[in-house]
Chain A
Amino acid sequence: MNRCLAFAASALAAFALPAASHAEDAHKPACEGVPAPLPAELAGWHDRAPLNAAKRADRIGKATLSIGQGADAVLVRTADVKYVLRPEKPGGSVSYGGLFAFTAEQAGTFRVALGSGAWIDVVKDGKAIESTAHGHGPDCSGVRKMVDFPLEAGSYILQIAANRQAQLPLLVTRLP
């Protein structure tokens, strides 16, 4: 498996990937309680506000992520989620998931950073956006998985699936 990647845009796999992917997670460096420094685009990771996931798309309004602002997402039981499209790797009945909305004000590459290896899809008009790279965050940052998506300006749904617990640190940010 790929070992934990030092953070750098170039450290992300530079090839087309499916719309979502589980990042690997075998390397666990010894962290000593000192948060790792983060690049500017992930600055919002350490300043997270609680945000409940929506169970279905028609009730997603309150589950809106602000670009660059981290969230301590609160997910729901997988069985209670009505996904816009079936995740490629759905979680079991004992896992957690949910839906979030976000808006890309300008076209660009957007990075979804997670504190777990949950499965994610970024969905527009019922179709999953193909991701362009994935990888880990910096050692000891708490960012376990990052997936990049090339997005046009517009509204999107972020689907989370197969998370092992209800809590999930989460950030959507636009890359410079």
Chain B
Amino acid sequence: MRRAALALFGLVALAVGTAAAHPQAWRWDIPAGMAAPEVPADNPMSAAKVELGRRLFYDADLSIDGTMSCASCHEQKRAFADGNRTRPGVHGDPGRRNVPGLANVAYLSPLTWADPRLSTLEAQSAVPVFGDNPVEMGMKGQEAELVRRLSKDKCYRRMFRAAFPKERGKIEPATVAKALGAFQRTLLSYASPYDRDTLSAEARRGKALFARHCATCHSGANFSDGRFHAIESEVAPSDPGLAETSGRAEDRGKFRTPGLRNAGLTAPYLHDGSAATLGEAIRRHAFAVPAVNQLTAEQSADLVALLEALTDRTFASDPRFAYPERFCGKPS
């Protein structure tokens, strides 16, 4: 994040950001001076759409057996990460990759660990809901069933009409994806000690180390360059990373640099969740960042302190992002 934006955090404004490529204004809750995230031209933000997306995000009817919602894996108290290495799907298929947190996901692209084709939240939502590599929510081929479930709910019908007036409230996978995308774009997090410039002495030392050794890849306001890197020399046969979609041998073991927002809440770490702690995650970078091997114990602790200071605990309890208390005016 730019220093000016950090210094001005105390004056956070409800900046009026104009969503790209459309005239509709949306009040983004971001620090003053920060550019609003880009929004697909065919999915402008609206309060009704965000409200609908929030309900859908917490609705287990998006899974084949009604047992798993988006929030089953993206838990707010963990900054919308999961807490497990990976997460099995509704049929028990093992998960392949660690569930990422969602803070400021509006600013991240590409999305997910190793698929550069997934550049929008609208496209990404189909992966857990309808995907089969692995099966997560198990709705592949069940688009009509999803529509049936949502359509039978009077409140949903009303919410879709409010959110998608041009589409006449059509309930279909595309409008579900748009609503989910709109809600996720509101998951903004800029109240960490780092943002507030209230770092401990330890974290300040860690910040200097981070700038020297980590910030090339973990760059920008959300600490990700959005590019794919191999941080270890060994590649698990079960997951070739970027090579899976690119088909290029040199992409084996490359995964997108994860953002580090709320790192203190999103353990375990790395693409397969195999690093239980931040300290371990740092040590696992030794192949890509040899300087890691030269860090003293104190320096490692300083880096961990910096990463912990990227954690915005208000985000993890913000009622605007929680399970809605009411649907259409009635208790949920």
Contacts and interface: CB of A to CB of B under 8 A. Distances in A.
Given A26-B88, A164-B90, 8 more contacts: A1-B94, A26-B92, A86-B323, A90-B58, A91-B60, A93-B153, A94-B65, A164-B67
Which 9 pairs of residues, A with B, have the shortest CB-CB distance? A92-B66, A95-B66, A92-B61, A26-B94, A92-B60, A164-B65, A94-B66, A26-B88, A1-B85
A87 B46 CA distance: 29
Interface of A: 1-2, 18, 22, 24-28, 78, 86, 88-95, 117-118, 162-165
A1 B149 contact: no
A22 B63 CA distance: 15
A160 to B, nearest CB: 12
A93 B66 contact: yes
A95 B332 contact: no
B149 A2 contact: no
Please report whether the interface of chain B is mostly helix, strand, loop or mixed according to DSSP: loop
29 contacts: A1-B84, A1-B85, A1-B86, A1-B87, A1-B95, A22-B72, A24-B88, A25-B88, A78-B66, A88-B323, A89-B60, A89-B71, A90-B58, A90-B323, A91-B66, A92-B59, A92-B61, A92-B65, A92-B66, A92-B67, A92-B69, A93-B66, A93-B152, A94-B65, A95-B65, A95-B66, A118-B67, A162-B60, A164-B66
B93 interface: yes
A93 B151 CA distance: 12
Contacts, number: 74
Interface in B84-111: 84-88, 90, 92-95
Contact of B273 (A1, A28, A94): A1
A168 to B, nearest CB: 12
B77 interface: yes
Given A1-B85, A24-B88, A92 B63 contact: yes
Nearest to A3: B85
B242 interface: no
B199 interface: no
Contacts of A90: 58, 60, 323
A20 to B, nearest CB: 12
A78 B59 CA distance: 12
Contacts of A93: 61, 66, 149, 152-153
A26 B60 contact: no
A92 B149 contact: yes
A164 B72 CA distance: 14
B332 A86 contact: yes
A148 to B, nearest CB: 17
A90 B63 CA distance: 12
A14 B58 CA distance: 28
B171 interface: no
Interface string B35-78: 00000000000000000000000111111011111011000010
Interface in B135-170: 149, 152-153
Nearest to B150: A93
B84 A2 contact: yes
Contacts of B68: 162
A4 to B, nearest CB: 11
A162 B68 CA distance: 8
